[in-house]
Amino acid sequence: MASERNETTTTTTTLLPVLHKEGEDDDHGRKAGSAMTRRGAYAAVSYMASAVLLLMFNKAALSSYKFPCANVITLFQIICSSTLLYALRHWKIISFTMGESQSISSSGKSIILVPYKTLVQTLPLAISYLLYMLVTMESVRGINVPMYTTLRRTTVVFTMIAEYLLTGQTHSLFVVGSVGMIILGAVVAGARDLSFDTYSYSVVFIANICTAIYLASIARIGKSSGLNTFGLMWCNGLICGPLLLFWIILRGDVETTLNFRYLFSFGFQCVMLLSCIMAFLINYFVFLNTTLNSALTQTVCGNLKDVFSIAIGWFLFGGLPYDFLNVVGQSIGFLGSCFYAYCKLHGK
């Protein structure tokens, strides 16, 4: 995938870095496809930081303030993201396609800023993204943060399957072993969860499947559409925004939101604003991390940041009481994630 470089554009505007060219050497001369590059490592760490913050802000809005409309939060996030992308593109700070000069000249007069055929090509990605966002948001509501992060670790299995079916991606025995450790840790950690709820657990597993399809779609469509990270985010917003707005109106969430008792509360508005900011950042880093590394790497990064989510969630929102099996399970899963990171960094 192509990275944004100033020397390849005809303008003098500094563009934000987006993607790394497939097969291009990094600063140490390694190939991007064989081991994680320095840029890929930065993308992974940035994703983990923004993911922890987004989870906490969403949890605060849905649980602490008891905001009943998770879909409205998602819509606000899409609107803020699309508005910011449009402004940055209008000011020529970013581009939406691999060729910077091409994106500035050929799509500048179009109201959608990308070719119509390209927008249609990203439709499967946008639909999977919408399902991913809606189900993930709902899965946060009915389960405590520590157990939520534990169950979400099983996404790695679904991602490996989706990668194989959609892109033919296979993995080494070292990687498969690290994934096995992650799953074992999740099983041990959740063995004695006293807050078991069939609906909440089912929603989390559906979210895992949607996440796997979404990440695998990024890897597949991102390479064939000619769009960079910002372009994929823009197309997602164009397609998902109107669909989600229609669904919200149909469900009557607009009236519910207007009657929400904390709607004009300064604290709630701050939480919503920070949630929208983190949603933009996490979407950018999800695309970047998945494209620079892989869908499975993106999933495992979600497991690595779990230790921080669990600690903060336990402190702010409450969670599972201390349990030896839970601690052992969390430790096994975390070690499995670290082993996976080691394998990727050394190209195993």
Better-predicted residue by pLDDT, 214 or 236: 236
Give tens-digit pLDDT for 159-169: 888 878 877 77
Q: Give the list of residues 6+ apart from residue 140 with CB closer than 8 angstroms, or none.
A: 55, 58, 59, 62, 70, 148
Report whether pLDDT(194) > 70: no
pLDDT value at position 33? 40
Show Cβ contacts of residue 339 under 8 Å, excluding neighbours closer than 6 positions. 174, 177, 178, 181
pLDDT tens digits along 88-114:
988 988 888 866 544 444 444 467 888
Question: Rounded mean pLDDT of 1-9?
Answer: 39
- Give the Cα separation of 265 and 270 in Å (integer): 9
> pLDDT band at 300, cuts 50/70/90?
confident
Please tell me the predicted confidence (pLDDT) of residue 140.
67
- Could you tell me if residue 2 is inside a domain? no
Most confident stretch, 172-181, 248-257, 286-295: 248-257
257: containing domain: 38-92+115-346
Q: Between these two residues, 151 and 229, which has the higher pLDDT value?
A: 229
Per-residue pLDDT band at 19 (split at 50, 70, 90): very low
Task: Report yes or no on 4 lying in a domain.
Answer: no
Residue 253 or residue 136, greater confidence: 253
What is the SS3 assignment for 164-219? HHHHCCCCCHHHHHHHHHHHHHHHHHCCCCCCCCHHHHHHHHHHHHHHHHHHHHHH
DSSP H/E element including 157: helix 155-167
More confident residue, 137 or 7: 137
In a domain, 108, yes or no: no
pLDDT surpasses 50 at 210: yes
19 lies in some domain: no
The predicted model gives 7-23 an average pLDDT of 40
Give the pLDDT score at 179: 84
Distances (CA, A) of 175 to 171, 178, 347: 6, 5, 10
Of 321, 145, 290, 164, nearest in space to 219 by CA: 290
* Helix/strand/coil percentages in the chain, nearest 5: 70, 0, 30
176 within a domain of the structure (yes/no): yes
Cβ neighbours of 111 (radius 10 Å):
6
Over residues 191-203, mean pLDDT: 70
User: 99 burial class (0-12, 13-18, 19+ CB within 10 angstroms)?
Assistant: middle
Count the domains in the chain.
1
Instruction: Give the integer Cα–Cα distance in Å for 209 and 207.
Output: 5
At 317, is the pLDDT very low, low, confident or very high (cuts 50, 70, 90)?
Answer: low
Q: Are 89 and 156 in contact (CB under 8 A)?
A: no
Number of helices (H), then strands (E), in the chain = 15, 0
Using an 8 Å Cβ cutoff, are 92 and 13 in contact? yes
pLDDT at 38: 80
Q: Is the pLDDT of residue 279 over 60?
A: yes
User: What is the pLDDT at residue 336?
Assistant: 82
d(C-alpha 293, C-alpha 32), whole Å: 8
Structure confidence at residue 238 (pLDDT): 92
Least confident interval from 8-22, 58-72, 137-151, 286-300:
8-22
Give the chain's mean pLDDT: 76
336 found inside a domain: yes
Contact 138/58 with Cβ under 8 angstroms? no
pLDDT reported for residue 208: 85
Residue 64 has pLDDT above 50, yes or no: yes
Interval 190-201 mean pLDDT: 68
Asked if pLDDT for residue 283 goes beyond 50, the answer is: yes
239 is a domain residue: yes
- 61 part of a folded domain: yes
Kindly report, residue by residue over 122-155, the tens digit of the pLDDT. 998 888 888 877 787 677 666 766 667 667 777 8
**Cα separation, 272 vs 77, whole angstroms:** 9
| CA quadruple 263, 200, 244, 216: dihedral sign | positive
pLDDT at 2 over 50: no
